[in-house]
Amino acid sequence: MKNGKYPPALTVAKDPVYPIDSRVVIRANHVPGMEGAKAVVNAVYETTAYKVSYIPTTSSEEVKNYKWVIHEDIEGANSEAFDVGEEIILNVKYKNGMDRAKAKIESVVQTNVYMVSYIDSRNGEKVKNYKWLIESELLPLKEN
């Protein structure tokens, strides 16, 4: 999500690998211009992250293996994690057509999720508070 807002009622991670203000390198390609970009950690939370496939409310073309929707983004979520294969309703506006879309859980990861700000490697655009990356999608930035 570009220029996202901080989410309400999430549990702040107690001992994350990358604390707030850490400088990292993104090794994920959720959106063009992200992979290899230098970033700063804005927030880190403990939650369950889901890879989902969904049909946008604005189209009939399925989006497969979208990374990441967090537990708090799912309608009717309680304290129990959802299982692979479960059908859910998304309660997010990360992309046009996601809010209220029906989705299927493809994978489940209990992890820390990171909100980061970075510079798009294609066009130099500042992306603030991008949601979400998981620890395995980040590397420490080694500055000379």
What are the DSSP calls for 62-79, one per residue? Answer: PEEEEEEEEGGGBTT--S
pLDDT bin (cut points 50, 70, 90) of residue 142 is: confident
Given this model, what pLDDT does residue 50 score? Answer: 98
Distance CA 61, CA 28 (A): 23
Average pLDDT score over the chain: 92
What percent of the chain is predicted at pLDDT more than 90?
A: 86
The tens digit of pLDDT for each residue in 58-86 reads: 999 999 999 999 999 999 998 899 999 99
CA-nearest of 111, 107, 69, 108 to 89 is 69
Question: Which domains does the chain carry?
Answer: 11-140 (2.30.30.1210)
The tens digit of pLDDT for each residue in 14-56 reads: 999 999 999 999 999 999 999 999 999 999 999 999 999 999 9
Given this model, what pLDDT does residue 2 score? Answer: 40
Given this model, what pLDDT does residue 143 score? Answer: 72
Distance CA 85, CA 66 (A): 14
**Average pLDDT of span 102-131:** 96
